[in-house]
Amino acid sequence: MSNSPSTESKYHLKSVHAEIDLFDRRLAHLQKYDVFETEAARTAAERKLNLKRDPLVVTAKRLAAEGVEYKESELPRSFRPEGVPAPVEAKPELTPEPAATPFIPTENRTARRQGSPYAGTSLDWEKSVQHYMQNKAAKA
C-alpha cells in the first residue's frame, strides 16, 4: 500500500478513527466505572490502553496531514474540541409518495392466463390439478 492519498487510504483513515474512538470509550469507561485494588493498577490499565491508542493517533494525524479525505462526523471524540457534539450529516428529505390507487382487475384472471410453457411435459402441473379436481368432485 502506498502512502499517497487514495480511495483505500480514505477508508483506512475511517477505520483508524473508529478504532481511536473505541479506545476513547474504553478509557472513559475504565476511568469512570472500573474498580481497581490500587491506583497503580488503574494507572497501569490506562497506560496499556494508551500504548495501543497512541500509534493509531499518529497514523490518523499523518494521513490527515497527507490530505486524505475524511468527514467531520467520523472524527473520534478526542479529536473534537471539548463540548462540541459530533456534526450530524444532513440527509435529504424524503418526499411522501402520492397514495397509490388500489388495483382493480378489469378482466377475469383465468381469461388473462396464457398457456403454460410446460404443457405436455413432465412439469405440466395443470393437468394433475384438473385430474385431482375431477376425482374430488366424483368422490363427493
Task: Provide the pLDDT confidence category of residue 111 given band limits of 50, 70 and 90.
Answer: low
pTM above 0.75, yes or no: no
Element (H or E) spanning 137, and its range? Answer: helix 125-139
Angle in degrees, 0-180, between the axes of helices 7-32 and 39-65, rounded to the nearest 10: 160
105 phi and psi angles, rounded to 5 deg: -65, 140
Q: Which residue has the cell 363427493?
A: 140
Looking at 6-15, 34-43, 46-55, which range is the least confident one?
A: 6-15
Distances (CA, A) of 78 to 21, 90, 103, 134: 7, 23, 56, 77
State the Cα–Cα distance between residues 34 and 48, nearest whole angstrom: 15
pLDDT, average across residues 97-119: 68
pLDDT in tens, 86-104: 666 666 666 667 677 777 7
Long-range pairs, 64-72, Cβ under 8 A, ≥24: 64/13, 66/3, 66/4, 66/5, 66/9, 67/5, 68/5, 68/9, 68/10, 68/12, 68/13, 69/5, 69/10, 69/13, 70/10, 70/13, 70/14, 70/17
